[in-house]
Structure 1
Amino acid sequence: MNQSSSPIIVHPLPFFKVLGVRVDAVQIPDVICQMEQWINEKSFGHFIAVTNTHVVTEARREPSFKQVLGSADLVVPDGMPLVWLGRLSGYSLKRRVYGPELMETFLKETGPKYRHFLYGGAPGVPERLFGIFSKRFQGIRFVGVHSPPFRPLTPKEDEEVVELINKAEPDVLWVGLGAPKQERWIYEHKERLRVPIMVGVGAAFDFLAGVKSQAPHWMKEHGLEWLWRLMSEPRRLWRRYLIYGSLFISLVILEKMRILRVDWK
């Protein structure tokens, strides 16, 4: 694989804007096709942000994080409200690009073709996920796992992580640090990592490893996953869903009524 970094981002895929944040009007098959194309191009540093209303609201609140999202090669709609807004913008989005489903589908459809590294999750979780997928998908190639501490890394530790990942030479780096931490981490490291694709998948490690229970399918497909997660972890998630969720709805209404001015750059 050559040492080239990703080219200047051009967006041939359709997209719409939500509170000034670009959201690509794609579905899981589109994302998988694009990922394989990037791997075959043998260029490094492609960044996929799996985005929901919390992430968009955070970008509206914090300009530096909006810049992080703007640097992503793909910003995919993981959250039914974003799917609904995409439909209002004229795109026939049938489903959300749900992070755990994207990860599982990519592994299932590509099998042993590519090399994978799991970064994130509590100690033991990525190892458990490695074991589950190795049994489920014959020949799957995991070349490394690492659970960083919850505190900030020292410069030496950070350099060791970069070296660990680069030595493993993965094609896809799955990052499960939670938003917005994982997006910031990818943004800060993508120029130092010799990896074609980095995907922030939030709580996917916990869900797919069976550490946390996922919402029933009907809730996920009808925009009610937030309620399931709020009931499951109220102390940790009440602010995200009750405050940020309400703020998102209010800001979108103001934007649609042309009362809220949004920087579309």
Structure 2
Amino acid sequence: MASSDWQGRWQAVTERMRRVADPADEQRVLRTLSTVGQPMVLGFVNAHALNLVARNADFHQSLLAADLLLRDGSGMAILFRRLALDPGLNMNGTDLIPMLLTAYQGRRVALWGSREPALSAAARRCEASFGVTPVSLHDGFAEVDTYLALARALQPELIILGMGMPKQEAVAARLASIGVPCLIVCGGAIIDFLGGKVTRAPRWLRRLGGEWIFRLMKEPKRLFMRYVVGNPMFIWRTLKFSTGPGNRVNVSSRRIRQKSDPE
């Protein structure tokens, strides 16, 4: 891949991202996400996502198809600061998705991803803690057509995908194309967190931006490439990107793109 290819992809993704300035702005985002009347995709961009974007053109397109992209993690904060931009709040899915579930109290929710027994445990927690109605549970290893058929038949108002990158973003783009009016969230490991399979780092470590260290210690084999190899690669790309010609991203006024907005 030519060096300009990945930098162009990073440029496109960072320009599409919506920075959330403060808690009041966060509440505005939550209100918008809880009142959708058409298919809407919420995605999160972290260091791992941009590493994938650098080498995977299909994932890049799936990510750009999302209606709202939020900044997730300390790596992205480093990137924005290198671009002389305030990164805003850390809008990671592990914290935001429970807020969304609370906002969807009494409504129909689908959980697609992970596997049993975490999947059923997550559904029980969602029902007990957030008051939502789980209408569909499915592991994250089916063909895309399986999820499309479930969405058409069950008409959930909120779909949480816990399939990991890049599959969940591709599935989300396809789900949005069939016209079922719902919010589709690319949630990564959220179903495993909700189901108790994966535990959160201590709050003090999260505040320091070190939750990735905790996760690596818990799952060293699975996460070695993502963090031990991926994080240094992300920092190298950040340094190269932020000093490259024309890399002056302006996302300060980026708002949530609706389907009716002009391209």
- Is TM more than 0.5 here? yes
1:90 maps to what in 2? 85
Shift, 1:261, TM fit: 7.3
Are 2:112 and 1:119 equivalent residues in the alignment?
yes
TM-score, normalisation: structure 1: 0.79
1:111-190 superposed matches below 5 A: 111-112=105-106, 114-137=107-130, 139-149=131-141, 153=143, 158-190=144-176
Matching residue within 10, 15, 40 for 1:19: 10
Q: Distance in 2 between matches of 1:160 and 1:203?
A: 20
Match of 2:151, as an amino acid?
I
Overall identity of the aligned pairs, in %: 25
Shift, 1:213, TM fit: 1.3
Q: Distance in 2 between matches of 1:66 and 1:50?
A: 13
2:33 maps to what in 1? 35
Q: Distance in 1 between matches of 2:111 and 2:245?
A: 43
Shift, 1:258, TM fit: 2.2
1:67 maps to what in 2? 61
Are 2:180 and 1:194 equivalent residues in the alignment?
yes
1:212 maps to what in 2? 198
1:49 maps to what in 2? 43
User: Could you list the runs of 5+ residues in structure 1 that have no partner in the other structure?
Assistant: 1-16
Match of 2:150, as an amino acid?
L
Are 2:89 and 1:103 equivalent residues in the alignment?
no
Q: Assess if the C-alpha contact under 8 Å between 2:41 and 2:172 holds in 1.
A: yes
Q: Assess if the C-alpha contact under 8 Å between 1:165 and 1:193 holds in 2.
A: no
Shift, 1:228, TM fit: 1.0
Q: Distance in 2 between matches of 1:58 and 1:161?
A: 24
Paired residues, what number?
Answer: 235
**CA deviation digits over 1:97-150, x for unaligned, max 9?**
1212111111224422x321111111232221111122223x42222211143x
Are 2:238 and 1:252 equivalent residues in the alignment?
yes
SS of 1:111's partner is coil
SS of 2:77's partner is helix
TM-score, normalisation: structure 2: 0.80
Shift, 1:193, TM fit: 5.4
Shift, 1:91, TM fit: 3.1
Matching residue within 193, 200, 210 for 1:224: 210
> Which region of structure 1 is more displaced relative to structure 2, 213-222 or 255-264?
255-264
2:3 maps to what in 1? none
Match of 2:191, as an amino acid?
F
Structure showing greater relative contact order (alpha-carbon pairs closer than 8 Å, 6 or more residues apart): 2
Matching residue within 189, 198, 216 for 1:203: 189
Provide the alpha-carbon RMSD of the alignment.
2.6
Match of 2:38, as an amino acid?
S
Match of 2:138, as an amino acid?
H
